[in-house]
Structure 1
Amino acid sequence: MAEVKKKRHWSYLLLGIVLLILGLYVIANPLIAVTTLVIMFIISTFTAGITSIMEYSAHKSSKGILVIGILNLIFGFIFVFNFFVTVVFMPFLAGIWLLVWGVFEIGASIKMKPVFKNWWLYLITGILSIIIEMPMMLNFNLGTQLLSLFWYLHYNISHHSSC
């Protein structure tokens, strides 16, 4: 068991070093950063849509999860077919998306409370998405930084709640 933890420790250290190098590269090349952010956003939107629909199909827990999945897929197709417009309006579009997502995530977390012990993690990501969306819509630079922070937090919360 100690050996597994040690190997995992090194993988996190390696991931941290790689992300630090990528972060410095992104600071030096903001256009590439925004384009990459849009591509990641599109991939995340499709992934969230598909997994939400799969979760609803498997558990039939909340229609809010199904609605979120469908909305994510719709937004994903809109972003793909309007790529350059998406780059320009990224913070505003992400703000709208996060507002809708946050509301549905809060609703879904409340419905999951009786059956899922970590329901509160989804409540937190819903609240965070609503808090983060307003500055994103008003300031492009701040918006892209907040969006990156939100994705980081959401990934870590989702990853740890499923362990």
Structure 2
Amino acid sequence: MPRRKSIMLDEEHARILQELATRYGVTISGYVRSLVEAAAEAEERGFHAPSLIRRALLFEALARLGAVPVPRTLLGAGTREARVEGERLGAALRELGLDVSELISLITDRLGLGIVDYNRVLIFRGSKDPLVGYVVGLASGYGLRVVEREKVIVIELGHE
């Protein structure tokens, strides 16, 4: 069992932590552990954790409005160029040790390209071909299994 150390919190912050932990069905200790581990990972990668959370809030708000970050080179690109760009970015994310599954799920879900399941993404072929090419490229460049069928593309996210 890990050693524990008490820390002092303002009463208001302790109340907020209790509410958040209860919302997710975990203990305060478990919730704080998760926050600290995520913050440490962000800091190890050179990000200031509080700033990263604020940027994530902005990106999530944009995603809810149907806007997701894509490389500038994708603007005006055709399907083939978009796929190559996705492959390049997917390979880079893999080298950096970052999981591309969240990005694929976000783009697919928010832009209505298909259906996101826990361990796979089903993308419909259709009018948004450059974006489909980009997402498929991200997956294949990262090394995920991609199965292309006549009407749907299946990306296996690797979650078990």
Same fold judged by TM-score > 0.5? no
Query: Larger % of strand: which?
Result: 2
Give the TM-score normalised by structure 1: 0.26
Give the TM-score normalised by structure 2: 0.26
